[in-house]
């Protein structure tokens, strides 16, 4: 089982606009949706569609927290969240022909007792892998992630900010930075595949068994103990990039859960991400035929 921990979940509100935003003008839309969001929740959402056993945990509070839990209860995702007094955040994405705009709230303050309740929840489910993903809300820091990582026999995977990655001290099986997070974690300039590979290898040497870096239109890299791999992005029409990195991570984790090679896992990650960016919002699209698509993705070793 793979358990996801989302310390700062959100209700994702996605709006599609037919015309560009104009200062002072009222923008109207007929296309909008609400999704239960947060990076860990997204990972579990995609894992379910990939046939991998998963449970999602974290914190939820207020009317938005209740809505988030209601939405999760309507899905096939097993969810066991800790209730808090604060208000779960609302993250807004505006999609228009000229661009994509995001407004993310910071989230409620999380107290140490809530973290201990999450640890107790994980111990009850006894997962093989724990994924800690997303932004850190007020009241938490790198030490919070280290606490969860060291609290059980599970292997821990992290998808957090670059500055946070640089401060982690526990043992981690894998981390998944994007281009900007990779640069922040290493202090390197990351502007192409070669520099991304060098940065990923450097970050891996600081205490991560593997580093999977998402590079947007340039695909993804995977730095492993014996080699570093790169897979180009699939050629698809991009509608919405929200959840792309989470989809990449879910695909890689699904491959690892099935004991596939690093190359096969990376192909799975890129194929899953290509499906997710082809739809709006963070809902999981059908993954029918994904195994055939991933075989067409070329992986290069460095």
Q: Which residues form the catalytic set?
A: 246
Q: Tokens in use for 299?
A: 């992986």
- Strand, coil or helix: 297: coil
Q: Spell out the residues 6+ positions from residue 207 whose beta carbon is closer than 8 angstroms to its own.
A: 168, 169, 171, 172
- 59 in Cβ contact with 79 (< 8 Å): no
Burial class (CB in 10 A: 0-12, 13-18, 19+), 124: exposed
* 298: enclosing H helix or E strand: none
- Strand, coil or helix: 101: strand
- 14 in Cβ contact with 281 (< 8 Å): yes
């Amino acid at each position: 089982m793979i358990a996801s921990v989302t310390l700062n979940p959100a209700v994702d509100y996605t709006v599609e606009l037919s015309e560009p935003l104009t200062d002072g003008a009222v923008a109207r839309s007929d296309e909008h949706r609400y999704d239960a969001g947060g990076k860990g929740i997204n990972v579990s959402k995609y894992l379910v569609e990939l046939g991998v056993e998963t449970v999602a945990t974290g914190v939820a509070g207020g009317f938005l927290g209740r809505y988030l839990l209601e939405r999760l209860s309507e899905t096939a995702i097993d969810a066991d969240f800790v209730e808090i007094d604060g208000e779960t955040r609302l993250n807004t994405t505006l999609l228009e022909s000229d661009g994509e705009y995001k407004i993310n709230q910071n989230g409620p303050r999380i107290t140490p007792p809530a973290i201990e309740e999450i640890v107790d929840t994980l111990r009850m489910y006894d997962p093989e892998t724990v994924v800690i993903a997303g932004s850190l809300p007020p009241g938490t820091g790198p030490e919070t992630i280290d606490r969860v990582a060291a609290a059980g026999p599970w292997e821990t995977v992290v998808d957090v900010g670059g500055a946070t990655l640089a401060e982690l001290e526990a043992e981690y099986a894998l981390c998944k930075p994007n281009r900007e997070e990779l640069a922040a974690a290493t202090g390197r300039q990351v502007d192409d595949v070669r520099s991304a590979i060098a940065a990923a290898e450097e970050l891996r040497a600081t205490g991560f068994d593997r580093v999977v870096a998402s590079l947007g239109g340039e695909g993804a890299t995977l730095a492993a103990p014996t080699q570093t791999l790169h897979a180009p992005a699939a050629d698809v029409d991009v509608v919405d990039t929200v959840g792309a990195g989470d989809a990449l991570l879910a695909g890689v984790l699904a491959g690892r859960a099935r004991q596939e090679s690093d190359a096969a896992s990376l192909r799975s990650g890129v194929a899953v991400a290509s499906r997710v960016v082809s739809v709006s919002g963070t809902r999981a699209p059908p993954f029918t035929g994904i195994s055939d698509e991933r075989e067409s993705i070329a992986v290069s070793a460095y």
